[in-house]
Amino acid sequence: MTLEFPYTRIHSTAVALLLAWFGVTAGCSDKPRSRLEQLWNAGRIVMITDNNAHNYYQYRRQPAGFEYELAEAFADYLGVDLQVVTPGWDKMFGALKSGGGDFIAAGIAQEPYWREFVDFSDAYLASERHVIVHMDNSGIRTMDDLNGKKVHVRVGTSNHKRLMKLNDEGYDVRIVPHDNVTTEELIRRVAAREIDITMADSHLAFLNQRYYPTIRKAFSVAGIQRFGWAVRKGDRELAEIINAFFDRIIREGKFAQIRDRYYANMDQFDYFELKKFHERVKSRMPSYKSVIIRHARQYDFDWRLVAALIYQESHFDPQAISYTGVRGLMQLTLETAGDLGIEDRRDPVESIGGGIKYLKWLYQLFDDIPGSDRILFALASYNIGYGHVRDAQEIARNQGFEPNRWIALKRTLPLLKQSVYYRQTTYGYARGNEPVRYVDRILIYYDILRWKALGLG
């Protein structure tokens, strides 16, 4: 009998578990099955989580979220299907205990009080806890400023417990607990001035600043918190398999790729840029929305991705002209416009239709690029040119990187500015840091537009 694990290198503990299973059960069918065998026989693993932008949500009937993408990679690692259940924050631990799922992946801090009920994997994320206020609220700067103030938190969370501990230490915080109201919703209420203060882990605050640019992280309440996936008490075998998985994806860069999709690149924006984007989505985008939707559907693109591209190019200004002479909403060159049959680059309908057609042409050229990386290659080519992207792939190949992955090109595109590299390429010098920044910014705008599509903003 040959048993193959989906990856060739497994954490030593997982190997020991497999060997133990073979040694104990090979001739004893009445012995308990190993945890790993149970999952393989079931053909699935069940993730318990909560609905929010960090954990799990549906966009265009497709699942997304940082925790979901990690769990999906974990299921692939095991060679089984992933099933997701969302019983509600206050019911997650009960669902795990009763067998309603195999593990909780929901940004759970490894606090001592949770360890009474669950076992944790090794930490995969670290974050600080911050007090969140409106940008105009200058009166909250230190812990002492919370005395006598109302702080709104979700009941039963580590934030709630931390505030109670602060009161035990002598502070006078007026805690306002909310049943099954997400931290993200409380952040929204702060941004809308419906409440004054809430608390959030720094990664959640970081993520939500793109959606609510008027919020401010006032100060840190506690030191570093570490987050892990929770398994049933005593299910150490599954915890060790999870540890092996995190060990692998961190080492190979997959974890960084998923993390960066949600939490990178915000340092490229300031408050005024994001606020202006939100304003122009309301004031300028509606004039072009129907045209964008029509042409995006024609070429099988998500119209919100196209809108993000247009904003990055022109800020929805049809009269925009760059210092290089490109014009219009889609900032097409004279040569490209001629090839596409565009007579007036400043005409919104012509520009949008031609620009999306050009993006589709680039996308089709990258039929060798797998998965979601393909559109990123196409977007980079829209900015810097197809040939330079292929040059960056060749540099990646020479340096031992995977040339068909965007995470590799983020490292090698900037090298096109250095003579030691560009002299060995077909298309020569390019400002290769620009397409990296360009794609990153489009993805942030796209994420905001997707978030708005969920009815959250």
> How many Cβ atoms sit within 10 Å of the Cβ of residue 419?
9
| pLDDT in the model for residue 25 | 42
203 Cβ contact list (under 8 Å, min separation 6): 54, 107, 125, 127, 263
**CA 381 distance to own-chain centroid:** 23
Token code pair at residue 184: 């993200």
CA-CA distance, 156 to 60, in Å (whole number)?
32
Q: Give me the numbers of helices (H) and strands (E) for the chain, helices first please.
A: 19, 14
Q: Are strands 125-127 and 225-227 parallel, antiparallel or unpaired?
A: antiparallel
DSSP code string of 162-188: HHHHHHHTT---EEEEETT--HHHHHH
Q: What is the DSSP letter of 33?
A: P
| pLDDT in the model for residue 52 | 83
> CA-based angle 450:302:354, to the nearest 5?
130
Low-confidence ranges of the chain (pLDDT < 50): 1-28
Q: Are strands 174-178 and 215-220 parallel, antiparallel or unpaired?
A: unpaired
- Tell the burial category of 132 from Cβ atoms under 10 Å away from its Cβ (0-12, 13-18, 19+): buried
CA-CA distance, 184 to 200, in Å (whole number)?
8
Q: Which of 69, 72, 313, 350 is flagged as catalytic? A: 313
| pLDDT in the model for residue 269 | 67
**pLDDT tens digit sequence for 199-236:** 999 888 888 888 899 999 999 987 788 999 999 999 99
> How many Cβ atoms sit within 10 Å of the Cβ of residue 16?
12
Is 116 marked active-site? Answer: no
Helix (H) / strand (E) element for 394: namely helix 386-398
**Structural domains of the chain ordered from first start:** 12-125+228-264 (3.40.190.10), 129-223 (3.40.190.10), 270-453 (1.10.530.10)
* Cβ atoms 48, 9 nearer than 8 A: no
Long-range contacts of 312-317 (CB under 8 A, 24+ apart): 312/438, 312/441, 312/442, 312/445, 313/355, 315/276, 315/280, 315/284, 316/280, 316/284, 316/285, 316/287, 316/288, 317/284
| pLDDT in the model for residue 266 | 59
**pLDDT tens digit sequence for 58-86:** 877 788 899 999 999 999 999 999 999 99
| pLDDT in the model for residue 22 | 40
Beta strands in 164-298 (DSSP E): 174-178, 197-201, 215-220, 225-227, 230-232
